[in-house]
Amino acid sequence: MRLVLVGPPGAGKGTQAQFLASHYSIPHISTGDIMRANIKASTPLGLEVKAYMERGELVSDSVTNEMVRNRLNEADASHGFLLDGFPRNVGQAEVLRAILSEKKTPLDAVLELSIKTSEIVARLSGRRICRNCGKAWHVDFEPTQADGTCDACQGELYQREDDKEEVITRRLQVFEEQTAPIISFYRTEGLLITINASGSVSEITERAITALSRIH
Ligand code: AP5
């Protein structure tokens, strides 16, 4: 399965990606996670992307495309992958099509998670991430037993810089202006599958697997 997950910030891409990647036994490739790992390790790439991410702006296509090209060349991606957060504009979608066409391994599907803006804001503003294992929790929808501590590994929880209210507004704007056009791009390519991303995490996973089962 070669799959792209698309949807606005907070639609639940990262949450669903964990279950889908495990269901299809494919690697979950999140450009946001790779960038955050580089920031944490203070690599040159991390230093370059930090300010863009904190402002909710897209990182440049040249940096992002190169990062994805390298990641798709790794051995674990040779039998499929789930891309989360890439592509994020039509230029990136065209680069991805070219990379996969060179390898003769086109995408199987693009799964769009569709959700109302009011739900997005509630999901993002209450999200907390574990500094140690990276798992996302939510203060209301998926609370941990002890405030500020990850149930999975006892790591410390933090709020992403870009989950502050003023940055959420900018990220939503960037999604509408730059990312939403890829939805028509993939509809035209005949790859788009849209599911409703409201409801419980397990309901949405089931919807996704049912929708994806129709393509194979
Ligand atoms: P990225 O890390 O990709 O963030 P995003 O797309 O904004 O998506 P999020 O991680 O915020 O949300 P999500 O949809 O994964 O939701 P989640 O599952 O966590 O990108 C961040 C930045 O990196 C960008 O702004 C940009 O600067 C840069 N970047 C990344 N890729 C790039 C690219 N290709 N080009 C250029 N720049 C790039 O869920 C959110 C919350 O909701 C969680 O707390 C979760 O517990 C909760 N939740 C999830 N599902 C449910 C449910 N069903 N019910 C209730 N709560 C739920």
- Ligand 1 near 66 CB (within 6 A): no
pLDDT of residue 216: 65
Per-residue model confidence (pLDDT) at position 2: 98
Residue 135 is among the residues annotated as catalytic for this protein: no
179 C-beta closer than 6 A to ligand 1: no
Extents of the domains making up the chain: 2-207
Catalytic annotation, pick one of 2, 71, 88, 135: 88
CA separation for the pair 11, 200 (Å, rounded): 12
| Smallest CA separation from ligand 1 atom 26, residue | 58
Taking CA atoms only, the protein residue closest to ligand 1 atom 17 is 12
CATH, domain 2-207, list 3.20.20.70, 3.40.50.300, 3.40.640.10, 3.50.90.10: 3.40.50.300
Return the number of other C-beta atoms located less than 10 Å from residue 167's C-beta. 19
Residues 6+ apart with CB under 8 A from 54: 161, 162, 167
Ligand 1 binding pocket includes 141 (Cβ within 6 Å): yes
pLDDT digit string, tens, across residues 88-107: 999 999 999 999 999 999 99
CA of 76 from ligand 1 middle (Å) equals 23
14 Cα: distance to centroid of ligand 1 (angstroms): 6
pLDDT in tens, 19-46: 999 999 999 999 999 999 999 999 999 9
pLDDT tens digits in sequence order for the chain, 216 residues long: 999 999 999 999 999 999 999 999 999 999 999 999 999 999 999 999 999 999 999 999 999 999 999 999 999 999 999 999 999 999 999 999 999 999 999 999 999 999 999 999 999 999 999 999 999 999 999 999 999 999 999 999 999 999 998 899 999 999 999 999 999 999 999 999 999 999 999 999 999 999 999 886
Active site residue 170: no
pTM of the model: 0.94
* CA distances, 210 to each of 42, 193, 201, 214, 216 (Å): 41, 11, 14, 7, 11
Identify whether 207 is a catalytic site residue. no
